[in-house]
Amino acid sequence: MTILVTGATGNIGSQVIQHLVNRGADVRALVRDPSKANVPAEVSVVKGDFLDVDSLRTAFDGVSTLFLLNAVVPDEFTQALIALNVARSAGIERIVYLSVIHADVYVNVPHFAGKFSVERMIEQMGMHATILRPAYFIQNDLTIKDAITGYGVYPMPVGDKGLAMIDVRDIAEIAALELLRREQAAQPLPLDRINLVGPEILTGAGIAAIWSDVLGRQINYGGGDTAAFEQNLKQFMPSWMAYDMRVMGERFLTDGMLPEGGNVERLTTLLGRPLRSYRNFASETAASA
């Protein structure tokens, strides 16, 4: 019985693998370049690409449970559909798919809409899967650390509706636990959706206040201008992705990204501990600067 982890060298995938190994699972990692794969010695590595169908067929052979994580790329939707179709043909009936919270609400945000369409495929084809729906990753804010510490501004367009940001370490641990639950079940388990949220609702002003407290100086929230946000992002990412992020930011401002009743309690029970807070992340980031 083998668990295949895609996105294996990324921030979440690598942590999922470590959690699985720590719990004694038989793990296989799908990577584009095995020579660059830094995985535990117990993990078998297989070369593959989502757009190379034959490589997926080889990678999926003998796999019992699949962790599907697709990067935000222009053909993310196509990659996910190919992977799921190949998995189905390979007889894999235990799947954990990393989607995004409110994928059915943020319908004009490209990568949200793509993930929601993947969810629809999973549901309509009767696949046995857990769909994990994480809110905004706390660690995304590492990309704007210099703006916070150097210019005294928190620039993300979070708004005042609030986001239930979640630490990627919690995402990875929950994903590993859910993979093991499905892997160890006597029969494939029914479809389930889990919102992955943090322990609190965070606003732009609230996050700036946390940074002010942690750094001991005034940090201001300045993230309401989504046009400026897009222009800044274009300095270090493709224009299509910067636009995608801008549209997402606009939905932050109008809709927020809020949990449903019982989400925090369910995750706390699943982990057996409290969820990590944004203040914890800010304190760790400041201490490591």
Q: What is the pLDDT of residue 100?
A: 98
Where residue 223 falls among pLDDT bands split at 50, 70, 90?
confident
**What is the residue range of 269's domain?**
3-136+166-198+259-276
Listed residue (28, 19, 9) closest to 181, CA to CA: 19
Whether 288 is covered by a domain: the verdict is no
Q: What is the pLDDT of residue 35?
A: 85
Sign of CA dihedral 168, 93, 121, 74: positive
Q: What is the pLDDT of residue 132?
A: 98
Query: Residue 289 above 80 pLDDT?
Result: no
Whether 240 is covered by a domain: the verdict is no
Whether 144 is covered by a domain: the verdict is no
Whether 146 is covered by a domain: the verdict is no
Whether 88 is covered by a domain: the verdict is yes
Sign of CA dihedral 241, 243, 247, 250: positive
Tokens of 51: 């757009």
**Which CATH number does the domain housing residue 88 bear?**
3.40.50.720
Domain count, the chain: 1
Where residue 37 falls among pLDDT bands split at 50, 70, 90?
confident
Whether 115 is covered by a domain: the verdict is yes
State the amino acid at position 189 in one-letter form: L
Whether pTM exceeds 0.95: yes
Q: Residue 235: CB partners within 8 Å, gap ≥ 6?
A: none
Whether 143 is covered by a domain: the verdict is no
